[in-house]
A and B are shown apart, each in its own frame.
Chain A
Amino acid sequence: MSEQKSVALDLEGIELHYGYVKALDGINFKVNQGEAVALLGDNGAGKSTLLKLMSGVHKQTRGTIRVHGEEVHFHAPKDSANAGIEMVYQDLALVDALDSATNLLLGREILRKGPLGWLGFVDRKKMIAEANAETELLGVKIANLTRPVEMLSGGQRQGVALARAAVRVNGKPNGILLLDEPTAALGYEQKVMVEGLIKRLAAAGIAVVVVTHDLPLAFNATSRMVVLNRGRKVCDVQTTETTYEKIVGYITGALPAQEGI
């Protein structure tokens, strides 16, 4: 764990309206480099909405967002990508007809050496080797790198989408990774793999925000938990200083919001 923690993302006084619906109300949210934070809450609590603000899909009605201390105004996902933020969406965004390796390396394909490379010829062998190496480094297992992703199961597709974001953010000194329900379609083994991945990325200095309904995952992989309830933040604690029961209480509303939040 890196000791000196700089603030990666800092959201202050965030309010967001979908028309008349107030989806987020006065949210303050911070995540440091090297920290994995779980964002919890019931269906419709506003988790995805908050995440989409951080990735530039939506724009807040009120409040400020700072990345590495500087205020930002995202107008599109590519703005947040330029700021070093990667997001895995619930809808995955894979190209069905392409295989996993190409999906992983889309946008940074490896070209052949020499004149063929100047003409834009790709080096398939190197791409597969590179995809293999990158996923290995992350400890992510992908069923078959050369099979079109349309022929993969839902969980395997999720693995590819996750690996792609992780690969892109890994190695960036100030990378930020946003995950929206990354384990929704995963079996036991793959879930353990994702837990490991989140921990390793955080240890490598990446700031990770995980939206999830999977409390064991949150307890195993993150060091801080933030609970939303109907668009308000009701709890913000270190994982080691809370219990499963308390968190469930905040999520359902059985417990009142923490003091001074």
Chain B
Amino acid sequence: MKKPDSLSVLVFIRSWGITILLIALWALFASTSPIFGTFENASLILGAASISAIFAASIAMGVFSGALDLSVPGTAAVAGIILGKLIGGGFDPFLSIAIAVAIGALIGYANGLIVQTGLNPLAVTIGMLSVTSGLAAILSDGIPLFDKMDTLGWLGTEIYFGLPSTFYVVIVVFAIGTIFLTKTRGGIRFLAAGGNAEALRRAGVNANTYRLLGFILSGALAALGGVVTCAYTAQATPTAATGVLFDGLTAVALSGISLAGGRGSLPKVLVGALVISTIGSGLLIMNIQPYWTITITGLLLISALAGEHYLGKAVARQAVGKSKVSAHKEAK
């Protein structure tokens, strides 16, 4: 590790490790099963990955802005039930979806306002998880809603040009999100609020606005995840699926993004979500008990955090050494 170019090796692993892992997994599974490498299976994996990816984006936006939002599954459940009620009641589908997503944003806004009074975000969002899960069950009397839900097939199960409809939702969400984060003033301040809110404040910017925005986006995306789940399964379930929380968190951690906030790349989160779905699908095809997927996801989460911890430290150490050298050269 102490070779002269070890910094570039470390930086390379840090930026491409997750993509390499994905390719390695594909190669591994494709070599053990002829079905795995087919276009149909790839499309299936994409379909499964898409829903996780939307939830991952929801969690990622929170993390980037400096807050881990644990209420995501509850928000998704409430949004789903409200969608189910509206669709069942014969409402226009687009309007219903818009209302469901807006309610998600509102729940996020409430989270943000409560956290800004100085309470711990983890505790607040866990509380909100209970509140929203309970609400979803109350609204639906605890039973799933099926009425007219199959009319959402265009959003959930249709295949366009060989790719599942849900994947198009992902493309739109991730493209807009990435442009926002990397190209706009709002994105810069959004990330700065997660990295060092005090610095943003001293620069004369209202940092609280951007932290609030993190919760709002997280809530809206969680609701969108709930909507797409309903469309995919053709039903609205009142139970909060906490699994999406762990998958989403693992996708974020796999992408090498510090959970401390202030930095982030949505494309990497997408690759992280693909890794998780690939493992799920690969194990299924290899006839391995599905419970292993859960265990492996947990192991992935831990090793991703450990890897990022080690790599981050190593890069920082090496980079400071290098920067001194280059500054000296420039001064001459």
Q: Which residues of chain A have a CB within 8 Å of any CB of chain B?
A: 77-78, 81, 93-98, 102-103, 106-107, 109, 111, 119-122, 141, 143-144, 147, 150-153, 156, 189
Contact of B195 among A77, A98, A143, A151 (CB under 8 A): A98
Contacts of B188 in A (CB 8 A): 98, 102, 106, 109, 122
Known pairs A107-B204, A122-B185, A151-B316; A97 contacts B199 (CB<8 A)? no
A143 touches B326 (CB 8 A): yes
B203 touches A107 (CB 8 A): yes
Interface string of B321-332 (1 = CB under 8 A from A): 001101100110
Contacts of B323 in A (CB 8 A): 143-144, 147, 151-153, 156
A-B contact pairs, 27 of them (CB 8 A): A78-B201, A78-B202, A81-B204, A93-B198, A93-B199, A95-B262, A96-B196, A97-B195, A97-B263, A106-B189, A106-B199, A106-B205, A107-B205, A109-B188, A121-B183, A121-B185, A122-B184, A122-B188, A141-B330, A143-B327, A144-B323, A151-B316, A151-B320, A153-B320, A153-B323, A156-B323, A189-B331
Q: How far is the CB of A194 from chain B (nearest CB, A)?
A: 14
> In the bound complex, what is the Cα–Cα distance between A252 and B263 (angstroms)?
46
> In the bound complex, what is the Cα–Cα distance between A106 and B199 (angstroms)?
9
* Most chain A CB neighbours (cut-off 10 Å) among B184, B202, B330: B202
> In the bound complex, what is the Cα–Cα distance between A119 and B183 (angstroms)?
10
The verdict on B252 contacting chain A, using a C-beta distance below 8 Å, is: no
B262 touches A144 (CB 8 A): no
A96 touches B262 (CB 8 A): yes
B192 touches A95 (CB 8 A): yes
7 tightest CB-CB pairs across the interface, nearest first? A107-B203, A97-B263, A151-B319, A120-B184, A93-B199, A106-B203, A143-B327
> In the bound complex, what is the Cα–Cα distance between A81 and B201 (angstroms)?
11
Q: Which residues of chain B have a CB within 8 Å of any CB of chain A?
A: 183-186, 188-189, 191-192, 195-196, 198-205, 262-263, 316, 319-320, 323-324, 326-327, 330-331
> In the bound complex, what is the Cα–Cα distance between A185 and B46 (angstroms)?
51
Q: How far is the CB of A56 from chain B (nearest CB, A)?
A: 11
Counting residue pairs across A and B whose Cβ atoms lie within 8 Å, the total is 82
B200 touches A95 (CB 8 A): yes
B200 touches A98 (CB 8 A): no
A77 touches B202 (CB 8 A): yes
Residues of B contacting A: mostly: helix
Contacts of A189 in B (CB 8 A): 331
Contacts of A150 in B (CB 8 A): 316, 319
> In the bound complex, what is the Cα–Cα distance between A98 and B194 (angstroms)?
11
A141 touches B183 (CB 8 A): no
> In the bound complex, what is the Cα–Cα distance between A76 and B201 (angstroms)?
11
A153 touches B327 (CB 8 A): yes
B316 touches A153 (CB 8 A): no
Contact of A120 among B185, B192, B199, B331 (CB under 8 A): B185
Residue of B nearest to A91 (CB): B198
What 19 new A-B contacts, CB under 8 Å, besides A103-B199, A109-B188, A120-B185?
A95-B191, A95-B196, A95-B262, A96-B195, A96-B196, A106-B188, A106-B199, A120-B184, A121-B183, A122-B184, A122-B188, A141-B330, A143-B326, A143-B330, A147-B323, A150-B319, A152-B320, A153-B324, A189-B331
Q: How far is the CB of B3 from chain A (nearest CB, A)?
A: 19
